[in-house]
Structure 1
Amino acid sequence: MSEIKPKPLASVASAEHVSSGVPIPKAMRIRTFSPDDWEDFIEEWSTSLSGAYVKVRRFGGSGDLGVDIAGFTSENGFQDVWDNYQCKRYDHPLRPSDIWVELGKIIYYSFKNEYLPPRRHFFVASQGIGTSLEKLLNKPDTLKAKTRENWEKHCEKEITSTAEIPLTGALEDHFDAFDFRIFTSKSHVELIEGHSTTGYHAVRFGGGLPPRPHPNKPPTTPEETESRYIRQLLDAYGDQLGTAMCDPVALEAHAPIKRDFLRQRERFYHAESLRNFARDTVPEGTYAALQDEVWHGVIDICESHHQDGFERMRTTLTQAAALSLTANPLSSVTKKQDCQGICHQLANDDRLTWVPDNG
């Protein structure tokens, strides 16, 4: 018998460990994905490919011709340079016996001129690529010889259910000329690296959002995209001063109002920087949900009675700064000036109005 001595943690225990347990490495989590989670993960990961191609398309089901995710380098699609990503979910690391029919499909359908042979064909698997297959993919001549050996057993009757495809005649000539160097793989580390560049990564794996860049300073001359909320600001200032404000130049005679105007533009650009940050770090719709939450938090205050439009705006912005937005994935990086700037974005879309038509 020996004394029981659990192995110590590799890192210092923290409050996070107590509340959530020891973090599971991302590569290990991929291996535990359910079929639906795997499909969702692949859909999310595939968006990381868009920067490398003119367009990326997902295929699937019967009649996919051996194509899963295709990355096209031009609008000519399959008739120009393209890459194929074959994504497999098995209960074991991918083996050579799992891919013979996939190789056969690429060879046969390119022979039938359904598409040009892909520039690269990547195998992606939920349990990773087995050692024997990885070694084989690194030896294209051996891979070709093994594919030939396994054609009758794995390809001849499996490529299509409508006919048998013997490796003879012109198809065999095509096979002999086919470049097996195109076949390779993607590791879990590479998948995670690509996924980390998408807006889905933090929600899928946790770990928090990346640092947020500093917002841009408002340009001296307002942009066209600012026209509506600036018009609303000018109307609010004019409502308090009792005189029409045609453009920002009219504010030069009113120093306190001019300072307020500059602050509001800074807040608008703060919110715009958060919107841009959200596009790259969280799923689509997250920022719109944040805007909706701010709108619900201030609309009752905005639509209550106020002595003038300027007072309505200031009271609404004070309410926005006091909101506690803890449910949205962006809450950890959202500042008070973002919430106030979102009010101006809402005013830009006429969802908030500082000087109602009915006064």
Structure 2
Amino acid sequence: MTGSLMDILAPAPSGVQTTAAGVTHGPLIPPQQQLLLYSPDPWEDFVHEWAHYCLKKRYVKVQRFSGAGDRGIDVAGFVDAQKLQGVWDNYQCKHYDHALMPSDVWAEFGKIIWYSFSKAYSVPRHYFFVAPKGAGTKLSTLLNDATRLKEEVIANWEKHIRTAITSTQEISLERELLAYVQAFNFSIFEAKTALQLTGDHRDTPVHAARFGGGLPPRPVGSPAPSTIAPGESKYVSHLLDAYADHTKAPVSDPSTLRTWPKLNGHFIRQREAFYQAEALRVFARDSVPAGTFEAFQDDIYDGVVDTHDANHADGYVRVCEVTKAARELQITANPLISCSNPKDRDGVCHQLANEDRLKWSN
């Protein structure tokens, strides 16, 4: 025996910062790795989100085809009003427990060739294979070499394609169709990687909800403009009524508040808060699923409505007590909590006043 026993030394520092979330939930699995674990149903949901939020930005119209008569089209993105007879891209979405192999998609090559040859539609500008594990080495090699891909399609036509295009007839590769295949542009075929798919998905409002990892940084909101915008009129009117209730004097215009510096400062802060909350609304629209911001508003409403309905000396006091209650609320479930601040909550109170859900004066 030539070996020797050695003590087990302490491992070197990993370089990864320890956080409470990391200790509680473990390491974050990158989105592209999560795709590899998807069963058919979550994959279908992901494709739906990806097509809706990502592809619709790129095309005049996006449509999903289904059923036995799809003619080799899964998701089509149309560049112009001519749709299938114009400029369009095809996305063929597949789910297998392995990376795509040529044997998985020979029929798909045949369908796009046959139906474009038959004038059912024009040749797509691009044809993308979309699968959670992407294209395997053999298929990727073919997709990167259009000449070789053409040769392999022709070589595999009789065995794998002739009877797989349609259930109503066999499509032999001869005469005009053979000439069409030989002239066909096979460089239109590509495969999307999981990294590309999740990269597209990252800019959608449902990315964090699906893959976790936290919300993106929130941009700095714009300051309140010097003039009152039409969209502010209702909550501003409610505030002026509250100030009038407090001073027992008419307050018909914000400029009148200069007589009361304390109220004027309060008014300026409330407008800043309103615009902060509006910026949060826009951020939520782009970063979290629809309805998340409205749920945040409802949480605040539910938390302050009893304070709002209680007896107060005047409307101004009610405003102060309600906004104080909003800032003190313990909201834990809504994902916007991670990027909101006390001023947002004041602003939400005024958004609610803008909708007449809250009123400061009787």
Q: Take 1:312 and 1:346, find their aligned partners in 2: how far apart are those partners?
A: 14
Q: CA deviation at 1:18?
A: 3.2
Once the two structures are superposed, residues 36-90 of structure 1 have per-residue CA deviations (whole angstroms, 9 ceiling, x without a partner) of 1111222222312333223333333332222222222233322322212212110
Equivalent position of 1:220 in the other structure: 226
Superposed, 1:298-313 pairs within 5 Å as 298-313=304-319
Q: CA deviation at 1:344?
A: 1.0
Evaluate the alpha carbon distance shift between residue 172 and residue 352 of structure 1 in structure 2; reply closer, same or farther with a 3 A threshold: farther
Equivalent position of 1:211 in the other structure: 217
Superposed, 1:270-285 pairs within 5 Å as 270-285=276-291
Q: CA deviation at 1:137?
A: 0.1
Equivalent position of 2:31 in the other structure: 26
Q: Take 1:114 and 1:261, find their aligned partners in 2: how far apart are those partners?
A: 65
Q: Give 5+ residue unaligned stretches, structure 2.
A: none
Asked if 1:340 is matched to 2:353, the reply is no
Q: Take 1:56 and 1:9, find their aligned partners in 2: how far apart are those partners?
A: 49
Q: Give 5+ residue unaligned stretches, structure 1.
A: none
Q: Take 1:25 and 1:131, find their aligned partners in 2: how far apart are those partners?
A: 22
Equivalent position of 1:74 in the other structure: 80
Equivalent position of 2:18 in the other structure: 14
Asked if 1:188 is matched to 2:194, the reply is yes
Asked if 1:89 is matched to 2:60, the reply is no
Q: CA deviation at 1:246?
A: 3.0
Give the aligned CA root-mean-square deviation in angstroms. 2.3
Evaluate the alpha carbon distance shift between residue 30 and residue 3 of structure 1 in structure 2; reply closer, same or farther with a 3 A threshold: farther
Moved more, 102-111 or 246-255: 246-255
Paired AA for residue 41 in structure 1: F
Paired AA for residue 141 in structure 1: T
Evaluate the alpha carbon distance shift between residue 7 and residue 162 of structure 1 in structure 2; reply closer, same or farther with a 3 A threshold: farther
Paired AA for residue 114 in structure 2: Y
Equivalent position of 1:38 in the other structure: 43
Evaluate the alpha carbon distance shift between residue 249 and residue 8 of structure 1 in structure 2; reply closer, same or farther with a 3 A threshold: same
Moved more, 166-175 or 149-158: 166-175
Equivalent position of 2:329 in the other structure: 323
Q: CA deviation at 1:276?
A: 1.0
Evaluate the alpha carbon distance shift between residue 8 and residue 178 of structure 1 in structure 2; reply closer, same or farther with a 3 A threshold: farther
Equivalent position of 2:267 in the other structure: 261
* Equivalent residues of 2:133, 2:193 under 8 A apart: no
Tell me the percent identity: 47
Q: Given the two structures, how large is their TM-score scaled by the length of structure 1?
A: 0.91
Question: How many residues in Structure 1 have an aligned counterpart in Structure 2?
Answer: 356
Q: Given the two structures, how large is their TM-score scaled by the length of structure 2?
A: 0.90
Asked if 1:117 is matched to 2:142, the reply is no
Paired AA for residue 168 in structure 2: T
Evaluate the alpha carbon distance shift between residue 18 and residue 287 of structure 1 in structure 2; reply closer, same or farther with a 3 A threshold: same
Superposed, 1:144-163 pairs within 5 Å as 144-163=150-169
* Equivalent residues of 2:232, 2:354 under 8 A apart: yes
SS in 2 for 1:56: strand
Once the two structures are superposed, residues 217-243 of structure 1 have per-residue CA deviations (whole angstroms, 9 ceiling, x without a partner) of 011112222122112222222222234
Evaluate the alpha carbon distance shift between residue 75 and residue 44 of structure 1 in structure 2; reply closer, same or farther with a 3 A threshold: same
Equivalent position of 1:234 in the other structure: 240
Q: CA deviation at 1:14?
A: 2.3
Once the two structures are superposed, residues 100-144 of structure 1 have per-residue CA deviations (whole angstroms, 9 ceiling, x without a partner) of 111112122222333221111111111221001000001111111
Q: CA deviation at 1:350?
A: 1.7
